[in-house]
Structure 1
Amino acid sequence: MSPCLVVLTDFFAVSNRALSYAAGLAVPLKAHLLLLHARHDQLLAPDEFGSYHTWAGEEKTRQALKKLAAAQAVPTEVEFSDDSIAETVREIIGERELLAVVLGQPGFEDAPRGLVARTAMGLLRRAACPLLVVPAMGWDKFPPRRLLLAVDGDPFNVGPHHRAIYRLLHALKGTLEVVHITDDEHERPTASALLASVTQNDLVEDATDAPLHLHERYHTRVASGVLTEAAQLEADMLVVVARHHSFMGNLFHRSVTAQLIQESPIPVLVLPAED
């Protein structure tokens, strides 16, 4: 079976903006799509749309998703779940080769601020899988060929999750550059240490033939510094390594990963690091 991209669909399935982005990636990645609908999750089935939780409403959603799947240019499955997103994703990981879970902005107005970021961080905490967060706007540059990896200066290990970015770069003939933001709270690491943490994770095919380009900048706020550099470099996708402490609930508002997911105008690929 081909590898799969899981797309989280909101309660109004036809308004899911992340689907077209995922379908576009599935072609060069030789992957298929799985549209996941969890009926009792705040992002996918918000409580304020209680009328849609009726049998008739859920059947309407089921038929809409099947129609949506049939309209895709790549093989597409549909899965409905009574469990949480994380529990369902863990089951999928055990059954399929999962490249990434794709999230988009919710398809309903007045969504609570940070809802997608909280959903993403919760998934990282409970399922530890690569996530691709697609903003409502800002992904008109397709396919993404200029990837920018944000590193914090400490060694990291993304384990088998390196395949997500490796396959993207290989399939799209893309490039990877590295950015590190120095602020007032952390000591500045050496350039060699920064680049070594990247090459040791096999994120690129051969760094000796094409040396990684490192961008080091100072900014009082790390997330803002990363996004400023991404804009200046005209990056198509931002790649972030999420450490375990960054997606713990009590540290949510201090997490640079959460801030980037919430604020980035370009897609963000989040790779969970192994402790």
Structure 2
Amino acid sequence: MTAPLLVLTDFSPDADLALRHAAALAALLKAPLRLLYVRRESLLDPEAFTGSIRHLSDAQIEAAFAERTAGLPVSVLSEAVSDRLPEALAAAVEQYAPALVVLGKPDTQQTPDQLVSTTALQLLRSTNTPLLVVPQSAGAPAPPRHLLLAVDGEPLDFATPPTGLRALLEELRPRFSSCHVASKATTTSVSAAETLTASPLLAGLGLPVTAHNMVDSDVPGAIVRAATELQADWLVLPARRRSFWGQLFNQSVTAQVLLHSPRPILLLPTS
């Protein structure tokens, strides 16, 4: 059986858009969807006393599930759980072993970077599963044909083999651009295309990869601009757990790109 796609929902328009994007991908893969709503009722939840959490009855949740899954072209299993979001997602990932976790992101142009990065990167760390973040500006779902992967000069290795994601890429057959942005000119050349082609993500798939190297002091801004200039459908970013550069990339570059990219962003949990 093809690995499912796991979609987080809070029944907002942003989550509904993410569900439509996930359904389009699942239809290509002939994969089922798992739709997860998390009842955030714990007093330990950071937003428990802010008034921003919606408290829905069982009947309201069932009605919301039915409204959103009616007419989708794939099989959908909906589930509501009570827990903190990272723990609930980690449990769902362990249960369903999804190829991809998908969530929506509202317009955050006026939101501090730390608040934007907290949710996506915390969820990524708690699951070690590729995470597709669909911003409000992403528009109608369409199969991505051109992916721009921002590389940082390190090997693209994975703690868990990206089997489900490779299956998606094999079905889509997109072309890749690898983008390396240096904050200043150096004598060291990063062979970004070779790094990507030889990675566990693409090795043996025979997908075309072109290199796009830049020098710019505004690294995240350059990545977002490169995606626009190259007309990429998705941005792909590695999120590293170790090394000084990895921490810097997670806390600064990735957060900034998440904040400003109008395109869907695929976050890869690398080792």
Q: Which amino acid aligns with 2:125?
A: R
Match of 2:234 among 232, 237, 240: 237
Structure 2 partner of 1:17:
17
Q: Which residue of 1 aligns with 2:150?
A: 150
CA-CA distance at 1:195 after TM superposition: 3.5
Deviation per CA, 1:10-69: give whole Å up to 9, x if none. Answer: 25479622111111111112211111111118799995256x426x4x531232113322
User: Over the residues paired in the alignment, what is the CA RMSD in angstroms?
Assistant: 3.3
Letter in 2 for 1:128: N
Specify every segment of 5 or more residues in structure 2 that has no aligned partner in the other structure, as ranges.
none
Q: Secondary structure at the match of 1:215?
A: strand
Which residue of structure 1 aligns with residue 200 of structure 2?
202
- Kept in 1, the 8 Å contact 2:180–2:190? The answer is no
Alignment correspondent of 1:81? 81
Contact (CA 8 Å) 1:139, 1:236: kept in 2 or not? no
Matching residue of 1:160? 160
What's the CA shift for 1:152? 0.7
* Residue aligned with 1:121, SS: helix
Look up the match of 2:129: 129
Cα pair 1:131 1:270 within 8 Å, conserved: yes
Q: C-alpha separation between the residues in 2 aligned to 1:268 and 1:21?
A: 12
Assess if the C-alpha contact under 8 Å between 1:69 and 1:76 holds in 2.
yes
Q: Give the Cα–Cα distance (whole angstroms) in 2 for the partners of residues 72 and 253 of structure 1.
A: 35
Q: Give the alignment partner of residue 51 of structure 2, picking from 48, 54, 75.
A: 48
Distance 1:44 1:36 in 2: 19
Deviates more, 1:197-206 or 1:21-30: 197-206
Distance 2:14 2:257 in 1: 26
Q: Hey, what does 1:175 align to over in structure 2? A: 175
CA contact (8 A) 1:33 1:75 kept: yes
Amino acid of the residue matched to residue 98 of structure 1?
A: P
Give the match for residue 255 of structure 2: 258
CA spacing shift, 1:189–1:75, aligned 2, 3 Å: farther
How far residue 127 of structure 1 moved from its aligned partner, in angstroms, is 1.9
Gaps of 5+ in 1: none
Q: For 1:48, give the aligned amino acid.
A: G
C-alpha distance 256-156 of structure 1, shift in aligned 2 (>3 A):
same
Alignment CA distance shift 1:263-1:94 (3 Å): same
TM-score computed with the length of structure 2 as normaliser = 0.83
Deviation (angstroms), 1:253 = 8.5
Q: State the distance in 1 between where 2:209 and 2:226 align.
A: 16
Is this contact kept in 1: 2:65–2:78, CA < 8 A?
yes
1:129-179 deviations in Å (ceiling 9; x for gaps): 110000101344711110111101122312435335422321112111211
| SS of residue in 2 equivalent to 1:36 | strand
- C-alpha distance 45-66 of structure 1, shift in aligned 2 (>3 A): farther
**Counterpart Cα distance in 2 of 1:124 and 1:267:** 15
Paired with 1:89 and 1:154, the residues of 2 have a C-alpha distance of 28
TM-score (norm 1): 0.82
Aligned-partner SS, 1:235 = coil
Q: Give the share of equivalent positions with the same residue, in percent.
A: 34
